[in-house]
Structure 1
Amino acid sequence: MHSPDSRPVDLPLVPFPAAPAPAPPGPRADAAHNRRKILDAAARLVADQGPDALTMNAVARAAGTGVGTVYRRFGDVSQLFSALLDEREQQFQEAFMAGPPPLGPGAPPGERLRAFLYALADRVIDQRALLLAGENASPIGRYHHDSYLARHTHLTLLVRGVRPAADAPLLAHLLLAPFAPSLITHLTRERGQSAEQIKKCVDDLVAGVLPD
């Protein structure tokens, strides 16, 4: 008989907006190409100069396109900001819901739990400037966003796989709490903690959840 931590678990998918289908040749392909150029330029600006540098004019210059094209594709800075976050979040969700194990289906829930928290640490560290700006804009609202709800649902199911008697929804919230962008920014920028150090502590968190 398998222990609760040794059974592979395949979890139901949490819906997230699907990526646009590849555009056919012609005007739609040009539009898709422009969108990609703009998103890449915006990501570089935020990485190099922080989210305050994300203006429509700055993105247009960095992308080598007209500012009118940027407005037509995204409307305003807030929509461009959201598009950047949503694109990376979609990639993250695809990895933990349908990617290869141990992050994706097919591995025991304890292994998936550890892999998920490792990947979440990388995700927040990699885009901490954008995520921190979003957290600052709506500290409580982030808990109602689709991205947080998807993570919480996924983690709740993993916790149930290893600790059936636990209050899985509450424990999932508490396991997600250390990955708030503000805390990760404080730890990495102000305290000099590396991703490896954070993941070592993740191991201790997971050890506290797994059954003896």
Structure 2
Amino acid sequence: MENSNGLESASARASGESKPSAGKRPAREAPARGSLPVLGQPAPERADAARNRLRILDAAARLHAEHGIAGLNMDDVATAAGVGKGTLYRRFTDKAGLAAALLDERGRQLHERLMYGPAPLGPGAPGLERLTAFVAAYVEHTVRSLDLVLLSETGTPGGRLAKPVYPFWRRHVEVLMEAAGTPDPRVRAEALLAMLSAEQLQHWTVTDGRPVPALIETLGRAARALAAS
């Protein structure tokens, strides 16, 4: 049986979070935007810059909800947000950057559940149980926003590995595998995350038409086998 406190502490160190005091859980209020390491700590903003960022993200979310990934045309987003194109491009650079920003809040919510939520996804369960729960949650998270995740991972060469959140996912899986006694957990963590890439999940769920629940069960078994080898 793993030491769940040690596991939580290691995950917290990997993510940049400080460990709660012994015997105490953090306040269950929503974390401040930027406090979780999904897209890193944002630089301090002027009030007008913060307002523009929120207007852009709100406009992008509306267009994506109405038109899917095709709705994230940068010119259309700038028009819908009522900002200049220069403002939009300075903030998000390209369509992939805008997709990553839209994924930010959902990623923060998953991070919160991993760090502080109930077991087995959160602390308190053995490593293999938490690993299986992570696979299920990660697949659901990715499939729910598959077009956005695909763009954020494939919009630029090496995009999946370059995503600011990737080191946290990798370290979280690595710590779970360490708790399960897995040899060479770093490489195996990266191998598991490669199996869970958006491109691979799209192939299984869209091209092959595999039902998500059945795929989650299969991938959970694969994760346990990889961790136990």
Change (3 A) 1:75 1:149: closer
Residue 191 in structure 1 maps to residue 208 in structure 2 = yes
Uncovered stretches (5+) of structure 2, i.e. residues with no partner: 17-36
Counterpart-to-counterpart distance in 2, 1:120 and 1:211: 20
Change (3 A) 1:41 1:191: farther
The residue aligned with 2:106 is 88
- TM-score under structure 2 normalisation? 0.71
Counterpart-to-counterpart distance in 1, 2:76 and 2:150: 21
How does 1:129-168 map onto structure 2 within 5 Å? Answer: 129-164=147-182, 166-168=183-185
The residue aligned with 1:99 is 117
- The Cα of 1:87 is off from its aligned counterpart by 3.1
In structure 2, which of residues 174, 181, 186 is the aligned counterpart of residue 169 of structure 1? Answer: 186
Counterpart-to-counterpart distance in 2, 1:137 and 1:60: 20
Contact 2:119 2:130 in 1 (8 A): yes
User: Which deviations, in whole Å up to 9, do the C-alpha atoms of 1:48-77 show, x marking residues without a partner?
Assistant: 433332124433565xx5244993694654
In structure 2, which of residues 76, 79, 82 is the aligned counterpart of residue 66 of structure 1? Answer: 82
- TM-score under structure 1 normalisation? 0.76
Contact 2:52 2:83 in 1 (8 A): no
Amino acid at match of 1:182: E
- The Cα of 1:203 is off from its aligned counterpart by 2.8
Comparing 77-86 and 148-157, the one that deviates more: 77-86
Counterpart-to-counterpart distance in 1, 2:92 and 2:184: 43
Counterpart-to-counterpart distance in 2, 1:161 and 1:75: 38
Residue 206 in structure 1 maps to residue 223 in structure 2 = yes
- The Cα of 1:20 is off from its aligned counterpart by 9.6
Equivalent pairs, count: 200
Contact 1:163 1:209 in 2 (8 A): no
Counterpart-to-counterpart distance in 1, 2:75 and 2:218: 42
The residue aligned with 2:146 is 128
User: Which deviations, in whole Å up to 9, do the C-alpha atoms of 1:26-56 show, x marking residues without a partner?
Assistant: x95x976765454244234335433332124
User: Which deviations, in whole Å up to 9, do the C-alpha atoms of 1:120-156 show, x marking residues without a partner?
Assistant: 1011101111111122223424213321111111100
Contact 1:55 1:77 in 2 (8 A): no
Uncovered stretches (5+) of structure 1, i.e. residues with no partner: 22-26
RMSD: 3.2
How does 1:16-27 map onto structure 2 within 5 Å? Answer: 16=37, 17-18=40-41
Counterpart-to-counterpart distance in 2, 1:148 and 1:94: 16
